[in-house]
Amino acid sequence: MTPNPALKGRTADTVKLLINGSFVESRTGEWHDVVNPATQEVLAQVPFATDAEIDAAVAAAKAAYKTWKNTPLAARARIMLKLQALVREHMSRIARTLSAEQGKTIADAEGDVFRGLEVVEHACSIGSLQMGEFAENVAGGVDTYTLRQPIGVCAGITPFNFPAMIPLWMFPMAIVCGNTFVLKPSEQDPLTPMLLAQLALEAGVPPGVLNIIHGGKRAVDAICTHPDIAAISFVGSTAVGTHVYNLGTQHGKRVQAMMGAKNHAVVLPDANKEQSLNALVGATFGAAGQRCMATSVTVLVGEAQRWIPDIVAKAKTLKVNAGSEQGTDVGPVISRAAKQRILGLLEDGVREGAKLELDGRGIKVNGFENGNFIGPTIFSGVTPTMKIYTTEIFGPVMVIVGVQTLNEAIDLINKNPFGNGTGLFTQSGAAARKFQNEIDVGQVGINVPIPVPVPFFSFTGSRGSKLGDLGPYGKQVIQFYTQTKTVTSRWFDDSTTGGGVNTTISLK
């Protein structure tokens, strides 16, 4: 076997590529460190795949599609049943890996895995999900029916903040519909997706049906322009998502792009105070604020503005530490670069005149002095023109805006360019109904801070948070990963006497 020159001088374990059922070493010359954000320990080194390796992954998926598309629904469902059992069995192992490379607490990491597992469980219902429609005798002796058929090689580009959940949103639903898949996970935490891929192969996913390549912009562009890829699913930043959507659609692909957010939670004075405070603080600071569905803006209406000291007091009770440590509430952010970006935005908030109610800068964690830690931070007196309001901070930061009426709150949210999620805390059914009817946001929670729907429904972010008309998982993703074929048929008995030539479109 020819030595791989790319491995010379490697100082850590190398992350593999998955091509045609085999985990293989990349021959690239470009490698990046996978770093524990709490310690700066290099956990592994991830390759940025070569153009030839990317082509090989797509070619393997294309070849496997020829037979996989004809695999019976029941056989595909049984693989998903096995996969969900394996993910459940290895939940703790996956969570520990995720926590080490991403920084989440173990509890939050398990939640990350579990929300992906729910989608795998839903994929087991493909026998009913992929059913078509049938209408008998739509004209004399004529029947019409629809078939939902796979579309070919699909690809997924996933972010760093949910290295288990988002890949599990994508490849199980794509392959259970009869497609094959090429996944490009985040280069910052690829170990968790690779572990999931091992379980997928163990569950019986055939060679070539699931492939994984690693990389940055070059890999993203290769996916968007590759002639053999039919559809792309993306979750991540607005800038990259817009690029993926534009480039992918220009090259004739279906694209769904779930992007940035600025999620608001509106609190009315009649809300249950203790429950609302717990929900707001948890939704803002959980996962160190690195959720696209995090509640980053709290809108206090009228007398609820008096709750600010209570919010601050609740946030002060949160424990900042490495995600691996017991009792941790807020772990580190993903990288040193992310920490510096967040700190810069906090400086902007101070400079623009927002009141810093709780300052999480400069926090030190004993035993983890090199970690990327920022403590819970709260600004009040924020206006819609401030940078901390207009920018997705993606860190443990709450900005508080005060208004006098529910109408003002609705108007504020509807003027924001993002439409991922929003929530209302109230005990008034009339206020809740008004809010859900008038708000222009794709996902709404009523006394629910993070309104991510269960997999029976679809993720429905809107406006500046979403490009493409179909969202991940649920009924919409079946539409995304299949194409509808309509068949109109008529059968004649041998004794049937034919009529004359019919030049009209009538089927009478």
Q: Which residues are catalytic?
A: 292
Is there a contact between 205 and 79 (Cβ–Cβ < 8 Å)? Answer: yes
Q: Which two tokens stand for residue 21?
A: 């059922």
- What's the CA gap between 392 and 159, in Å, rounded? 15
Residue 100, number of CB atoms within 10 A of its CB: 24
Whole-number Å distance between alpha carbons of 243 and 328 = 37
Crossing angle of the two packed helices 429-438 and 406-415, in degrees rounded to 10: 20
Residue 171's identity, in one-letter code, is F
Closest alpha carbon to 257 in 110, 7, 459: 459
Q: How far apart are CA 12 and CA 234, in angstroms?
A: 29
Tokens of 194: 């690779």
- Comparing C-alpha atoms, which of 196, 233, 213 is closest to residue 57? 213
| Mode of pairing for the β-strands spanning 466-467 and 254-258 | antiparallel
Cα torsion 81, 83, 84, 88 to 10°: value is: 140
- Measured CA to CA, the distance from residue 198 to residue 435 in angstroms comes to 45
- CA 85 to chain CA mean position, Å: 22
Tokens of 22: 């085999």
Question: Residue 41 has which token pair?
Answer: 């320990």
**How far, in Å, CA of 285 to CA of 317, rounded?**
12
411-434 per-residue burial string, b: 16 or more CB within 10 A, e: under 16? ebbeebebbbbbbbbbeeeebbeb
Q: Give dist(CA 49, CA 26) in Å, integer.
A: 6
| Parallel, antiparallel or unpaired: strands 229-235 and 254-258 | parallel
Specify the DSSP class assigned to residue 505. Answer: S
Which stretches within 204-272 are classed as H helix?
217-225, 238-250
Amino acid at 294: A
Return the percent helix, strand and coil in the chain, to nearest 5.
40, 20, 40
Residue 119: alpha-carbon gap to chain centroid? 12
Structure tokens at 145: 């029916």
Task: Give 335-368 as a DSSP string.
Answer: -HHHHHHHHHHHHHHHHTT-EEEE--TT---TT-
